[in-house]
Structure 1
Amino acid sequence: MHTQSSLKGIGSMCLGVLFLALGDAVSKWLGEVHSPLQIMFFRSLVSLPLIAALAYASGGLRKLGTRRPGVHLLRGLIYTGTMGFFVLGLTLLPLAEATAIAFVAPLFVTLLSFPVLGERIERSVLVASLIGFVGVVIVIRPGSSALNTGALTMLAAALCYALTMVTARRYGAREHLWAMLFYVALIPMLISAATLPWVWQTPQGSEWVGFIGSGVLGVGAIAFITLAFRHAPAAVAAPFDYTAMLWAVLLGWWFWGEIPDIWVWVGSALIIGSGLAVAYHDRRTTLKRRPTA
């Protein structure tokens, strides 16, 4: 029974990650025409009713109450940066490279846990993190200004996401989960909504499907990933997040003709290997995901 449950968890994680990868591809496609702020608005608009409904089902909307509005405002502002940088990075980089760089987020979480949370970092974890950053350098291969702009944008998204996760770890025990999720989605929606008069471009035909579809894919990803952690231990399910790299390669090749070279694979292997090593030492892997999640 335990093995069967773990297999269900792994299957749910893989399906959730597929939804995330498809959502990334849709955002990349939309980002070729529309502002990241407009994409952010629609994704947040779809997320908020879902979070509110889940909060209501798990004990009522009172779970959205908070005594720390300043903390939620700060986290919302940081996550606004996460979403904006991430979507912009998708438009500047091939999908596989963008996904590989985004995987550095868990390593940022590890490094930030010392100055922000006062947590001790074991030497082996620090070495693994440094190896991961070497992998990022290999993927980026500094030289092309266009590539470096995209890489720096995606690194900024990973850093902002790591800050969002570290603050969740710091304040999450004192706040309801649904409040933490609700306000981190509300702030980006309000900020992006305020910018719409300047960035709005009316979607055409299939683009409407894309905007709605990206939200639906995000909801599906959240549902299946949540289900994965219910069926399987985090240490078992979380590593399958890295199947996103395979989907990124396939989707990038299918829609944009992008074929990663050998250095992207070498760098990705180092990033993924270091991430797995860090996850092995830290069972709180549910807090250590990439920006798209």
Structure 2
Amino acid sequence: MTGTLMRLSGNVRGVLWMTAAMASGVFVDVCAKLVSHDVPTAQIIAMRAVTTVAVFLIVLMFIGVRPIRTRRPMAHIARGILWYGSLFFVFFALRQMSIAEVNAYLFIEALLTVLLAVVILGEKLTARKMIATLLGLVGVWVMCAPRMDGFGVPLGVAAALFGAFCFSAQTLFAKVMTRTETNFSMLFWPQIIAVVIWVPIALISWQPASFADWAYSAGAGFFAMMTNYMVLRAVRVADASVVSPAAYTALPFSVAMDLIFFDMLPVPVIFVGAGIVILAVMLLDYKGGAKPQQIDDAEEVGDDEASPKPAEA
């Protein structure tokens, strides 16, 4: 099997790795959604962080602490807050909506990354970026419309969009940090920050958690690490512009998991709105446009060799 895969072109292998990463990423959502509704969202975040840190500490016993040395402790703190803030909002949204609906809203993250790069890093705001952003907002509105009560936005929708914003911001931090930080430190320190912040918050309203709840929380951490690893493999063997479209397989995978585990389907208009958002993101990639998905994927795993160093953060 390995020999067969190696005979494939780099771009084909990259697409396969990215597709597998999206399937793994959906299992993160499944695990989070399976945790009992009696367990507060903050507690789920804390449990996930504790179990993930435990695994990292075991690894450090064998490889030593050199890979986690850092020159930018404050940047790690900021990124850890944003990363786990994003997870909090996404996990909260998963309690209100189907996995497919939440992932459809999260597609806007790529466009938000481009806008934040313009505001924070001073990148040029081109006509292409403006058109893509406006088109993406139209897609979000199409998805929101069936759930809106007048001008009110449901909490689940708002949480998903806040989650996308937080992840966009941490992506920019990650791009800058990859110049000096190792891959391992980029993955390790956000977990430590999460334990320091979210465990005290969770203790305020801590509820007894079953073994299954702990197992699902640990599973969310495991599949998140697997997703990061496979994204890294994808962008190492293939062009980001080639593997980026494979990220949208998250939507059909989400629909499948909703049916298998929760016997539910998103409203059809979600697919229309998600299609508009995907079209907006692909507009950015067209003929050398900005590649937000490349940034998202490479920076999520904290890799400084996974992709070229474009001007974008």
The answer to whether the aligner puts 1:126 opposite 2:113 as a matched pair is no
2:13 is equivalent to residue 8 of structure 1: yes
Partner AA of 2:23 in structure 1: L
- Shift of residue 266, structure 1, vs aligned partner: 0.8
TM-superposed CA distance for 1:3, in Å, is: 4.9
* Map of 2:88 onto structure 1: 84
Residue 249, structure 1, aligned to residue 255, structure 2: yes
> Is 1:111 aligned to 2:119, yes or no?
no
Please point out which of 174, 186, 198 is paired with 2:204: 198
TM-superposed deviation, 1:110 = 0.5
1:72 Cα shift? 1.8
- Structure 1 residue 76 displacement after superposition: 1.8
State the match for 1:24 in structure 2.
29
Offset from partner CA, 1:98-119 (integer Å, 9 cap, x none): 1111111111100111110111
**Change over 3 Å in CA distance of 1:30–1:75 after alignment to 2:** same
91, 101, 108: which is aligned to 2:105? Answer: 101
Matched with 2:3 is: none
Indicate if the aligned counterparts of 2:114 and 2:292 stay in contact, CA closer than 8 A.
Answer: no
Q: Which moved more, 1:167-176 or 1:101-110?
A: 167-176
Change (3 A) 1:278 1:49: farther
Local SS of the residue matching 2:9: helix
Secondary structure of the 1:174 match is coil
Q: What code does the residue aligned with 1:61 have? A: V
Alpha-carbon distance in 2 for matches of 1:218, 1:45: 14
Q: Is the 8 A contact 1:9 1:231 kept in 2?
A: yes
Q: How does 1:221-260 map to 2 (within 5 A)?
A: 221-260=227-266
2:183 is aligned to 177
How many Å apart are 1:256 and its aligned residue?
Answer: 2.7
Which of 34, 41, 44 is 1:39 aligned to?
44
Q: Could you tell me which residue of structure 2 aligns to residue 215 of structure 1?
A: 221
Query: Match of 1:125, as an amino acid?
Result: K
For the 8 Å contact 1:64–1:176, the answer to whether it is kept is: yes
Greater mean alpha carbon deviation, residues 234-243 or residues 24-33: 24-33
Which deviates further from its counterpart, 1-10 or 76-85? 1-10
- Aligned match for 2:294, one of 263, 267, 286: 286
1:1-31: CA deviations, max 9, x gaps? 7853322221121111111101102212216
CA RMSD across the alignment: 2.7
The one-character-per-residue Cα deviations of 1:184-239 (angstroms, maximum 9, x if unpaired) are 22211221222343233333243333223222222222222222222222111122
1:28-87, Cα deviation, whole Å (9 max, x unpaired): 221623222222123323444666788899x86323222332222222222231111111
Provide the C-alpha distance between the structure 1 equivalents of 2:294 and 2:49, rounded to a whole number of angstroms.
21
Alignment-mate amino acid for residue 275 of structure 2: A
Relative to structure 1, is the Cα distance of residues 135 and 89 closer, same or farther in structure 2, using a 3 angstrom cutoff? Answer: same
User: Is the 1:14–1:243 contact (alpha carbons within 8 Å) kept by the matching residues of 2?
Assistant: yes
The answer to which structure has the higher helix fraction is 1
Residue aligned with 1:260, SS: coil
% identity of equivalent residues: 23
Matches of 1:218 and 1:171, distance apart in 2: 20
TM-score, normalised via structure 2 length: 0.82
Is the partner of 2:95 in helix, strand or coil?
helix
1:131 deviates by 0.5
Aligned length: 290
2:193 pairs, out of 167, 187, 191, with 187
| 1:261 match: secondary structure | coil
Q: Distance in 2 between matches of 1:30 and 1:127?
A: 40
Deviates more, 1:193-202 or 1:44-53: 44-53
Q: Which is worse superposed, 154-163 or 200-209? A: 200-209
Superposition deviation, residue 284 in structure 1: 6.0
* Structure 1 residues without counterparts, runs of 5 or longer: none
- Change over 3 Å in CA distance of 1:286–1:48 after alignment to 2: farther
Aligned letter for 1:78?
L
After the TM superposition, which of the residue ranges 201-210 and 99-108 deviates more from structure 2? 201-210
Q: What TM-score, normalized to structure 1?
A: 0.87
